[in-house]
Amino acid sequence: MVAAIGAGANGLGALFWVLTLRYSDTALASTLVYLTPFAALLFLAVFRGTPIRPLQLAALALILGGPLLERFARRLS
């Protein structure tokens, strides 16, 4: 049962990833994927009381900063 659930979740995840890359903005899609660990941190903070450290917030700023710089550079050129 665990293998079936894992294969289903991974299979659907891979399918949606391929469709997202094919039909949307690649920079935006990759940013959303990199936000997944931060979403996990938020869940841990809310449900387990784990503090979010400043280094983790700095990492979030870097993750969001790349696509923002790319969009600004695209508009300027």
Q: Where are the domains of the chain?
A: 25-77
Give the model's pLDDT for residue 48: 93
Encode pLDDT of 17-32 as tens digits.
888 888 888 777 877 7
Give the model's pLDDT for residue 36: 80
SS (H, E, C) the chain: CHHHHHHHHHHHHHHHHHHHHHHCCHHHHHHHHHCHHHHHHHHHHHHHCCCCCHHHHHHHHHHHHHHHHHHHHHHHC
d(CA 44, CA 37) in angstroms, rounded, equals 11
5-27: average pLDDT:
82
In the predicted structure, residue 53 carries a pLDDT above the cut 90: yes
Encode pLDDT of 34-48 as tens digits.
778 888 888 999 999
